[in-house]
């Protein structure tokens, strides 16, 4: 059975995944990009951006596996684009340039009506206006038997977790303080009865946690 | 200079330090005691309760050091006693029996007026009604040049952190989901500019994090 998964999703030690003040020059908000230092340090991500070097080891292994068997992605509006007051918004084609690092169909949850975008390298962006179940259905259909990954952000992961739709969640706790921002674990009372943490794998830089839906 | 410290303070992976439903039989709330499994597994804590055995290693080392150079403690009302509807409340002398594991003066933040309690083994409980600064002043005076430790709970740690009064905070992130409860990191915007995480030391069971006040 194809599954709905979250992989390599970073949260700060105080629980935040993005800082306030998101804008075109700061996709993770003010000073929020620090959350991703462990990602940019890995060999696999450096090589994705055509750069030599980078660390091997546990974090690199997890990043290498993050895309494995993924046939489609789902993301929230903020993960696709900057806040609505950006001047070139209509022409916006995502944060990632002409050849985004997905290489499969991506479904964007939004209230905006916008035609689908075909990008280079096999990525497409389809804008879904009728809710998380609809996006999930479309993503599973597009994934052709492979798994679907929720790319982010925190609000999107939280909605799917609250609905009990996520099969497996790989979180990465990063030892830094953000102080404020968006978090997954807000208004999720009851999640502790439906999900459990079954794996704790710390690297030198971060803690990897695997959370799965409990057997019912 | 004597310092104000927090040591071995456990939080779940979703950020909670106690579950709702605290009562006399459940000091950490419903299923909340799971947060302390790593503590009860250590040799030093087993020996404190007169039991043989227990694990050595990193978690044990941290627990052994938790009381080092501490001359007084501060705690919140919930850490001292159960909720106000408990029948034997007036006779309540804390969760720990006649010989509590503090062995120094403890200052309890509360709105209740209650006479100080002298316990066995050098522990006393003094009830402070006029705020966190007053408790801190009294605790430093009683500590006689040693450090003061905030024992908990989350609300008490949060208040002192918000006021910028904590010098060093040793947190222990436990890989389990609580879903709801009390947390330290709530309404603490700005803490990221005053504090930073300077040490990340995972054991096999948990992550130890050392957070200190930033140089100004």
Which of B192, B203, B205, B211 is the best mutation test for A, with the most CBs of A within 10 A? B192
CA separation for the pair A206, A61 (Å, rounded): 13
Nearest chain B residue to A199, by CA: B175
Note whether B192 contacts A178, CB cutoff 8 Å.
yes
Choice between B205 and B29, residue whose per-residue pLDDT is larger: B205
In this prediction, residue B76 carries a pLDDT of 95
Q: How far apart are the first and last CA of chain B?
A: 17
Which residue has 């801190």 as its token pair? B136
Note whether B209 contacts A13, CB cutoff 8 Å.
yes
Note whether B14 contacts A15, CB cutoff 8 Å.
yes
- The per-residue pLDDT for range B175-213, each reduced to its tens digit, is 999 999 999 999 999 999 999 999 999 999 999 999 999
In this prediction, residue A189 carries a pLDDT of 93
- The per-residue pLDDT for range A56-80, each reduced to its tens digit, is 999 999 999 999 999 999 999 989 9
Contacts of A205 in chain B (CB under 8 A): 200
A118-137 burial, b for 16+ CB within 10 Å, e for fewer?
ebeeebbbbbbeeebeebbe
Touching check for B31 and chain A: CB below 8 Å? yes
In this prediction, residue A215 carries a pLDDT of 73
Q: What percent of chain A has pLDDT over 90?
A: 80
In this prediction, residue B85 carries a pLDDT of 55
Size of interface A-B (CB pairs under 8 A): 83
Choice between A29 and B171, residue whose per-residue pLDDT is larger: B171
Note whether B209 contacts A177, CB cutoff 8 Å.
no
A91-100, A150-159, B140-149 — which is least confidently predicted?
Answer: A91-100
Task: Indicate if the pLDDT at residue A86 is higher than 60.
Answer: no
Choice between A178 and B82, residue whose per-residue pLDDT is larger: A178
Strand partners of residue B107: B74, B126
A25-39, A81-95, A104-118 — which is least confidently predicted?
Answer: A81-95
B 167-186 near A (Cβ less than 8 A): 171, 173, 175-180, 184-185
- DSSP, res B82: -
Residue A23 CB coordination number (10 Å): 12
- The dihedral sign for the CA sequence B99, B90, B115, B150: positive
pTM of the model: 0.93
In this prediction, residue A85 carries a pLDDT of 55
In 3D, which of A127, A79, A126, A124 has the Cα closest to residue A102? Answer: A124
Touching check for A145 and chain B: CB below 8 Å? no
Q: How far away is chain A from the Cα of B150, in angstroms, using its nearest Cα?
A: 19
ipTM of the complex: 0.91
- Average the pLDDT over B4-24 and give the result: 92
Q: How far apart are the first and last CA of chain A?
A: 17
Task: Indicate if the pLDDT at residue B127 is higher than 90.
Answer: yes
CB B189 within 8 Å of CB B158:
no
Q: What percent of chain B has pLDDT over 70?
A: 96
Nearest CB among B175, B191, B207 relative to A177 is that of B191
Q: Structure tokens of A22? A: 């998101």
Which of A21, A57, A164, A179 is the best mutation test for B, with the most CBs of B within 10 A? A179
Choice between B92 and B151, residue whose per-residue pLDDT is larger: B151
Task: Please report which helix (H) or strand (E) contains residue B58, including its range.
Answer: helix B58-65
In 3D, which of A61, A63, A59, A62 has the Cα closest to residue A49? Answer: A63
Task: Indicate if the pLDDT at residue A82 is higher than 80.
Answer: no
Note whether A191 contacts B15, CB cutoff 8 Å.
no
Touching check for B92 and chain A: CB below 8 Å? no
3-class secondary structure per residue, A102-154: CCCEEEEECCCCCCCEECHHHCEEEEECCCHHHHHHHHHHHHCCCEEEEEECH
Q: How far is CA B167 from CA A17, A139, B5, B25, B142, in A?
A: 26, 49, 6, 33, 18
Nearest CB among B31, B197, B207 relative to A176 is that of B197
Touching check for B6 and chain A: CB below 8 Å? no
Note whether B205 contacts A200, CB cutoff 8 Å.
yes
Is the preceding peptide bond at B153 cis, omega within 30 degrees of 0?
yes
- Count CA atoms closer than 13 A to A21's CA, side-chain side: 12
Q: What is the mean pLDDT of chain A?
A: 93
CA separation for the pair B157, B151 (Å, rounded): 8
Note whether B192 contacts A177, CB cutoff 8 Å.
yes
Note whether B202 contacts A197, CB cutoff 8 Å.
no
- The per-residue pLDDT for range A121-143, each reduced to its tens digit, is 999 999 999 999 999 999 999 99
A165-187 burial, b for 16+ CB within 10 Å, e for fewer?
ebebbbbbbbbbbbbbbbbbbee
Task: Indicate if the pLDDT at residue B62 is higher than 90.
Answer: yes
CA separation for the pair A160, A132 (Å, rounded): 7
Nearest chain B residue to A31, by CA: B192
Band (pLDDT 50/70/90 cuts) for residue A84 is: low
Task: Indicate if the pLDDT at residue B5 is higher than 90.
Answer: yes
In 3D, which of A95, A144, A138, A89 has the Cα closest to residue A114? Answer: A89
Nearest chain A residue to B31, by CA: A192
In this prediction, residue B88 carries a pLDDT of 58
> What is the length of chain B?
216
Helix (H, G, I), strand (E, B) or coil at B134: helix
- The per-residue pLDDT for range B77-109, each reduced to its tens digit, is 989 987 665 555 678 889 899 999 999 999 999
B1-10, B30-39, B203-212 — which is least confidently predicted?
Answer: B30-39
- Average the pLDDT over A48-57 and give the result: 91
How far, in whole angstroms, is CA A124 from its chain's centroid? 16
Strand partners of residue B53: none
Which residues lie closer than 8 Å to A176 by C-beta, 6 or more apart? A12, A13, A34, A35, B192, B196, B197
Q: What is the mean pLDDT of chain B?
A: 93
Band (pLDDT 50/70/90 cuts) for residue A83 is: low
Note whether B200 contacts A175, CB cutoff 8 Å.
yes
Structural domains in chain B? 4-83+98-213 (3.40.430.10)
Residue B191 CB coordination number (10 Å): 21
In this prediction, residue A144 carries a pLDDT of 97
In this prediction, residue B83 carries a pLDDT of 67
- Average the pLDDT over A144-173 and give the result: 97
In this prediction, residue A216 carries a pLDDT of 58
Note whether B180 contacts A193, CB cutoff 8 Å.
no
Q: How far is CA B90 from CA A43, B86, B94, B113, B125, in A?
A: 63, 9, 11, 11, 14
Q: How far away is chain B from the Cα of A193, in angstroms, using its nearest Cα?
A: 8
In this prediction, residue A159 carries a pLDDT of 97
Touching check for A14 and chain B: CB below 8 Å? yes
Task: Indicate if the pLDDT at residue B132 is higher than 90.
Answer: yes
CA separation for the pair A186, B185 (Å, rounded): 12
Note whether B31 contacts A207, CB cutoff 8 Å.
no
């Amino acid at each position: 059975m194809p599954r709905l998964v979250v992989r390599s999703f970073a949260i700060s030690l105080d629980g935040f995944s993005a800082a306030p003040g998101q804008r075109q020059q700061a996709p993770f908000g003010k000073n929020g990009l620090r959350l991703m230092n462990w990602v940019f340090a890995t060999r696999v991500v450096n090589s994705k951006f055509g750069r030599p070097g980078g660390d091997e080891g546990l974090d690199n292994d997890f990043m290498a596996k993050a895309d494995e068997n993924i046939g489609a992605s789902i993301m929230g509006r903020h993960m696709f684009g900057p806040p609505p007051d950006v001047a070139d918004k209509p022409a916006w084609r995502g944060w990632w340039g002409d050849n985004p690092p997905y290489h499969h169909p991506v479904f964007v949850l939004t209230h905006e009506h916008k035609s689908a975008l075909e990008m280079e390298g096999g990525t497409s962006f389809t804008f879904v206006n009728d809710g998380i179940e609809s996006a999930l259905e479309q993503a599973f259909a597009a994934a052709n038997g492979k798994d679907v990954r929720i790319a982010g952000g925190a609000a999107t992961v939280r909605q799917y977790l609250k609905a009990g739709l996520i099969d497996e969640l790989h979180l990465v706790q990063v030892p830094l303080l953000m102080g404020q921002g968006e978090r997954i674990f807000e208004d999720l009372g009851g999640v502790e009865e439906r999900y459990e943490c079954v794996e704790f794998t710390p690297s030198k830089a971060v803690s990897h946690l695997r959370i799965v839906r409990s057997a019912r």
